[in-house]
Chain A
C-alpha cells in the first residue's frame, strides 16, 4: 500500500513517496517514482491503482501543457488543484479513478509553496502538511506535533525523515525505500532516495 507524505516549508514544498509497486503480496518494482512532474514547479504525488494513477496523471499533465502553450503562461497551483479535483469529481460519477493525490507546487508570483490534498471522491483541500495511504495513520500525529510554519530546509528534511522512519517502523508491510523531492523557486529537485532500516537503531543509509 502506498505512502505519500508532504508538507510546506519556508519557500519550498517537501514531498516523499515510497518506491514500491506491488500486486497483492508481491513487490513488482522497488524503484517506482510516484512523484510525477506536472510542469516546471508542480508535482502530483499519486497513490492507489497504478494504471489509474498513470492514466489520470497523464491527462492532467497534457491539459496543463496545453494551457501553457495556448496562453504562454503557467497555471497556478491553486488552479491545477481545482482542475484536477473537477476531473476526479466528474470521473467518479461515471468511471471512478481509484487515485489519491497530493499536489505540491511553488508559485513564482506569490513566492510561496502550497500543498493540496485530493482524493478519489473528488475532495480537495489546501493543507500545510498531509499524507495518503497507511502513512497517514502514523505521520499525522508527528506532523501535528512538530510541523511549524516556515521551517527551513534542514529542519524540514529532518522532520520528513522522522515521518518516514515511523512509517518503516510501524508498517507490517515492508516499505523501506522512499524518494524525497523538493519544489522551490528553482523548480523540482530530487533531494534523496532514502533507505530506512530501523533494526539498526536510528540509522538511515543514503542511496543515490
Chain B
C-alpha cells in the first residue's frame, strides 16, 4: 500500500480530471436551490424518493452548521457528512477563540479550503459534493455562498446545484428580481423546484433563514398550498392561450 502517489494529478491539457469527475458526481445528486431575498434566505431541496420501508424523516439534506448558519449540498451524502462535521467543529472552535459567532464568509472559505486540500493531498480523492451555505454577514445582509469540489467558492443571488442545475438556473435567471420579500422568495424557490422534481411537492423540503432567528422548515401543507396555486395559475394561462 503506497501512499506516495497523488490521486489528483494534472492531465496533459491542464485539467484535474479527478476534480472534473467529482463535479460529475455532483451532477448526479439531487437538486438543491438557494435564493436570496431582501431580508430572507430560502433553501429548497429535492429529497431522494425513499424506499417504502425507509423512514423519510431520517433523510435530512438541509442542516444547521451553527445557530445562525445553514447549508445544503448536492452529491455524495457520505462525503457531505464529513464536510458538515468539520464545519460544525470549526464554528465552535472559532467561538472558543474569538467569542464571536463565526462569519458566513469565514466558514465558506473554510469549507472551500478543505475541499481544495483534498485535491492536492496524497492518498485522498476530492469530495464529491457541492454546497450551498446561507447566513447573514456581520452587517446584517443575507448571503448565499456556493462551493464545489475544486475548492472554488462565490456569492450568489440565487443558485442551484445537482441534477437539474441547468434548467433551474435558467428558470432563476429569467424570474429572479432583486429585493424580493419573504413570500416572493419562498414562491420562487418552490416554483423552481416543482418544475424539475418528478414526484411533486411531497419530495421537496423548504427552509427559511430569517435574521437572528432559528431556521424554519416550511410545513407540508403550506408547500402543497403554494404548489396548488402554481398549478391553477398554469391552467388559467393555458386556457387563455
Chain A residues proximal to chain B, CB less than 8 Å? 58-59, 62-63, 65-66, 69-70, 72
Q: Which B residues from 77 to 104 make CB contacts under 8 A with A?
A: 85, 88-89, 91-93, 95-96
**Main SS of the interface on chain A?**
helix
The 8 A CB mask of B167-200 against A (1 = contact, 0 = none) is 0000000000000000000000000000000000
- Whether B96 lies near A59 (C-beta < 8 A) is yes
Q: B70 → chain A, closest Cβ, in Å?
A: 11
B65 at the interface (CB under 8 A from A): yes
Most buried by B among A65, A69, A70, A72: A69
Tally chain B residues at the interface, Cβ within 8 Å: 12
B116 at the interface (CB under 8 A from A): no
Of B66, B85, B91, B92, which contacts A63 at CB under 8 A?
B92
CA A104 to CA B89, docked complex, whole Å: 26
Contacts of A62 in B (CB 8 A): 92-93, 95-96
Contacts of B66 in A (CB 8 A): 69
- Whether B92 lies near A58 (C-beta < 8 A) is no
Contacts of B89 in A (CB 8 A): 66
CA A65 to CA B65, docked complex, whole Å: 11
Q: Which residue of B lies closest to A58 (CB)?
A: B96
Contacts of A58 in B (CB 8 A): 96
B64 at the interface (CB under 8 A from A): yes
- Whether A69 lies near B92 (C-beta < 8 A) is yes
21 residue pairs of the A-B complex, CB under 8 angstroms, read: A58-B96, A59-B96, A62-B92, A62-B93, A62-B95, A62-B96, A63-B92, A65-B92, A65-B95, A66-B88, A66-B89, A66-B92, A69-B64, A69-B65, A69-B66, A69-B67, A69-B88, A69-B91, A69-B92, A70-B85, A70-B88
Contacts of B93 in A (CB 8 A): 62
CA A72 to CA B62, docked complex, whole Å: 13
Contacts of B91 in A (CB 8 A): 69
Chain B residues proximal to chain A, CB less than 8 Å? 64-67, 85, 88-89, 91-93, 95-96
Contacts of B65 in A (CB 8 A): 69
CA A65 to CA B96, docked complex, whole Å: 11
Q: Which residue of A lies closest to B87 (CB)?
A: A69
Q: Which residue of B lies closest to A64 (CB)?
A: B92
Q: Which residue of A lies closest to B85 (CB)?
A: A70
Q: Which residue of A lies closest to B88 (CB)?
A: A69
CA A72 to CA B66, docked complex, whole Å: 11
Contacts of A59 in B (CB 8 A): 96
CA A70 to CA B86, docked complex, whole Å: 10
Most buried by A among B65, B66, B91, B96: B96
Contacts of B92 in A (CB 8 A): 62-63, 65-66, 69
Q: Which residue of B lies closest to A72 (CB)?
A: B64
Closest 5 pairs (CB-CB, A-B): A62-B96, A66-B92, A62-B92, A69-B88, A65-B92
CA A65 to CA B93, docked complex, whole Å: 10
Contacts of B67 in A (CB 8 A): 69
Contacts of B88 in A (CB 8 A): 66, 69-70
CA A26 to CA B95, docked complex, whole Å: 32
Q: A55 → chain B, closest Cβ, in Å?
A: 10
CA A67 to CA B39, docked complex, whole Å: 30
Q: A63 → chain B, closest Cβ, in Å?
A: 7
CA A70 to CA B88, docked complex, whole Å: 7
Q: A76 → chain B, closest Cβ, in Å?
A: 20
Most buried by A among B85, B88, B93: B88
Q: A94 → chain B, closest Cβ, in Å?
A: 19
CA A69 to CA B66, docked complex, whole Å: 6
Contacts of A69 in B (CB 8 A): 64-67, 88, 91-92
Contacts of A72 in B (CB 8 A): 64
CA A84 to CA B67, docked complex, whole Å: 23
Q: B57 → chain A, closest Cβ, in Å?
A: 12
Q: Which residue of A lies closest to B94 (CB)?
A: A62
